[in-house]
């Protein structure tokens, strides 16, 4: 089965490279990308989980309404994507539930930075998807973390998928840069080996980032952004559907465990 997710946040990537970008512009970029994603999911008739920041939810109510009415899951991605506090774990859940009128069961820390499992469990979440057990020097080097979902106390940990054996990353950046025949083959190998495939993207990947050199977005990220990622997401979904893989939300998966 496939757990497809989107980190639905205000676009703040230029700030990592010393470029100031307003919240308004960051929301605009992500709203355009999120609507393109929702169009694809509607066309392909698959459900996904949207890990949303409170900032995004407050400033993009029409997108949030689409996410809910079209049958997708809302989970928490903290309050502010650029700056987080421990208190934001519980606060984001409360605020999203109040704004969206739905239960928020899952949490993912922005940029998958370390976060206390105890804090997440105490906030009332059922699952945490803040782990990336890949071999990526300098960013994600959680080689001692299980590749597959596991429990810590009552909390289900749902790590992002990596390939068997070498733990090659198969996340969003791999989709941008691997040859597509190789990328899809790695994805199918992983889901057949593990029984589930956990993947995440961002709405801003579906915006034509290459057209904005002033944002200094690295080439490995801007490459194939916009229309290119629309085509790649469609092809990836088709690949899984051809193999009769079921798409489930993270809460649905958690309830199966």
pLDDT at 72 over 80: yes
Q: Which helix (H) or strand (E) holds 251?
A: helix 250-256
Percent of the chain with pLDDT over 90: 91
Contacts of 242 (CB under 8 A, 6+ apart): none
Stronger pLDDT, 84 or 69, i.e. the higher one: 69
Contacts of 70 (CB under 8 A, 6+ apart): 38, 41, 42
Q: Which helix (H) or strand (E) holds 62?
A: helix 61-69
Domains of the chain: 2-256 (3.20.20.370)
Quick one: pLDDT at residue 214? Answer: 96
**Range 171-179 average pLDDT:** 97
Averaged confidence pLDDT in the chain: 95
Quick one: pLDDT at residue 145? Answer: 84
Q: 226 pLDDT band (50/70/90 cuts)?
A: very high
Task: Count Cα atoms within 13 angstroms, Cβ side, for 254.
Answer: 22
Quick one: pLDDT at residue 58? Answer: 98
Q: 138 pLDDT band (50/70/90 cuts)?
A: low
Q: How long, in residues, is the chain? A: 257
């Amino acid at each position: 089965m496939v757990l497809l997710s989107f980190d639905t946040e205000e676009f703040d990537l230029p700030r990592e490279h010393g470029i100031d970008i307003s919240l308004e512009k960051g929301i605009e970029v992500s709203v355009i990308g999120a609507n393109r994603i929702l169009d694809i999911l509607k066309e392909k008739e698959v459900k996904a989980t949207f890990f949303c920041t409170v900032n995004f939810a407050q400033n993009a109510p029409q997108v949030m309404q689409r996410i809910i009415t079209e049958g997708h899951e809302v989970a928490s991605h903290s309050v502010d994507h650029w700056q987080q506090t421990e208190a934001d774990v519980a606060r984001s859940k409360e605020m999203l539930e109040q704004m969206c009128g739905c239960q928020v069961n899952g949490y993912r820390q922005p940029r998958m930075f370390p976060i206390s499992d105890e804090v997440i469990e105490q906030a009332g979440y059922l699952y945490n998807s803040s782990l990336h057990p890949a071999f990526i020097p300098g960013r994600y080097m959680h080689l001692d973390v299980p590749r597959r979902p596991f429990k810590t106390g009552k909390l289900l940990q749902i790590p992002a998928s990596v390939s068997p054996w070498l733990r090659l990353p198969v996340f969003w950046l791999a989709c941008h840069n691997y040859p597509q025949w190789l990328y899809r083959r790695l994805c199918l190998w992983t889901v057949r080996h593990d029984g589930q495939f956990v993947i995440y993207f961002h709405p801003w990947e579906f915006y034509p980032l290459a057209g904005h050199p002033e944002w200094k977005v690295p080439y490995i990220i801007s490459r194939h952004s916009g229309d290119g990622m629309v085509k790649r997401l469609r092809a990836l979904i088709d690949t899984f559907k051809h193999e009769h893989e079921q798409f489930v939300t993270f809460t649905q998966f958690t309830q199966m465990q």
